[in-house]
């Protein structure tokens, strides 16, 4: 059965959904996006995603065409129409269709393009990969300097994912000036002596919504957290490593550049944080 998607105010069968070839998102990657997970038919961390969307749009001087309440209503409608129990809702807003291609921004009254669709992912919360962990490689971080804006320009992360695949591992961690920034689509952490270490927020990394929640839960559970940069060598010598993202929640990392992390199996800190995050997020889901 065809999915129902949302395009500029209309709910449509996916095969009938179209966007102009002059859309700035298509021609210039001039747009932002968010991905919100769905568990039990409810949205996880939605207020955080709505707030980050507004920030990304503001940083790019784009008009936010929808209120948080309108966004929530559209998300819920798509979840209901597509019968999503576990999965994700993808949202993209671009600067719109100016009618022709030009590097200069179009007039301020150009209508943004708004697209949303769902992805059904049964078993999202009980992903068996979380029981065994993933393997990563490190690669140079050559992305632009505003990684805090969640833009749709994802070519280099896609290339990094493919580099990982060619290396027969699961993901890649970016390294800049000798320090780990983040993963291809996630925030990264190490654990040493019971202390959780993760890079501090700046323009260098995405301000992860799951990251914020996990760090809050960690501190509430009396876990020690240090926000600072770390090296790949530190990560290899750590007791544990993991990453967080909206779709993977908390995912253990058991190997970096061929070296086992800790025992080479998921550690207790990551496992506990995943458990806490899923429990608390389900309670707060909308």
Domain shared by 40 and 176, yes or no: no
Verify that 150 and 178 share a domain, yes or no.
Answer: yes
- Whether 150 sits among the annotated catalytic residues: the reply is yes
The catalytic position among 121, 131, 150, 161 is 150
pLDDT at 1: 66
Q: What is the pTM assigned to this prediction? A: 0.94
User: What strands, in cross-sheet order, belong to the sheet with 42-43?
Assistant: 10-13, 4-7, 113-120, 86-94, 31-39, 42-43
Residue 92 has phi, psi (to 5 degrees) of -135, 135
Say yes or no: 92 and 222 in one domain: no
132 lies in the same domain as 101: no
Q: Are residues 95 and 177 in the same domain?
A: no
**Strands 195-198 vs 224-227: parallel, antiparallel or unpaired:** parallel
CATH of the domain at 92: 3.30.470.10
SS (H, E, C) 71-133: HHHHHHHHHHHCCCCEEEEEEEEECCCCCCCCCCCCCCCCCCEEEEEEEECCCCCCCCHHHHC
Print the domain residue range for 254: 128-284
Alpha-carbon distance of 250 to 269, in angstroms, equals: 10
Cross-strand pairs, 176: 179
Which among 183, 243, 245, 206 is positioned nearest to 35, based on CA atoms? 245
Q: Verify that 142 and 270 share a domain, yes or no.
A: yes
Residues 51, 164 within the same domain = no
Residue 238 is predicted with a pLDDT of 98
Give average pLDDT by consecutive 10-residue segment, the chain, 286 residues.
93 97 97 98 97 97 94 98 98 97 95 98 96 98 97 98 98 98 98 97 97 97 97 98 97 98 97 97 95
- Per DSSP (E only), the strands in the chain are 4-7, 10-13, 31-39, 42-43, 86-94, 113-120, 134-140, 171-176, 179-183, 187-192, 195-198, 224-227, 240-245, 249-256, 259-260
Same domain, residue pair 177 and 274? yes
- Find where tokens 């269709």 sit: 97
């Amino acid at each position: 059965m065809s999915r129902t998607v949302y395009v500029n105010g209309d709910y449509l069968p996916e095969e009938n959904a179209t966007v102009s070839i002059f859309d700035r998102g298509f021609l210039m990657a001039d747009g932002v996006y968010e991905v919100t997970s769905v568990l039990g038919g409810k949205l996880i961390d939605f207020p955080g995603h709505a707030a980050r969307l507004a920030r990304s749009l503001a940083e790019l001087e784009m008009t936010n065409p929808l209120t948080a309440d309108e966004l929530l209503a559209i998300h819920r409608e798509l979840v209901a129409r597509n019968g999503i129990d576990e999965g994700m809702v993808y949202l993209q807003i671009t600067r719109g269709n100016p009618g022709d291609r030009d590097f200069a921004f179009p007039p301020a009254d150009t209508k943004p393009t708004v697209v949303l669709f769902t992805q059904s992912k049964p078993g999202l919360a009980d992903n068996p990969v979380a029981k065994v962990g993933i393997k990563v490689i490190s690669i140079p971080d050559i992305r632009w300097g505003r990684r805090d804006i969640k833009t749709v320009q994802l070519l280099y992360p896609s290339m990094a994912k493919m580099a990982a695949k060619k290396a027969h591992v699961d993901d890649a961690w970016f390294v800049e000036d000798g320090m780990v920034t983040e993963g291809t689509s996630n925030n990264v952490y190490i654990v040493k002596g019971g202390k959780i270490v993760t890079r501090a927020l700046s323009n260098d990394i995405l301000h992860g919504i799951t990251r914020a929640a996990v760090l809050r839960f960690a501190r509430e559970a009396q876990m020690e957290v240090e926000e600072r940069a770390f090296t790949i060598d530190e990560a290899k010598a750590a007791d544990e490593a993991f990453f967080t993202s909206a779709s993977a929640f908390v995912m253990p990392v058991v190997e970096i550049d061929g070296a086992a992390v800790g025992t080479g199996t998921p550690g207790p800190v990551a496992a506990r944080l995943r458990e806490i995050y899923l429990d608390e997020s389900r309670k707060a889901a909308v």
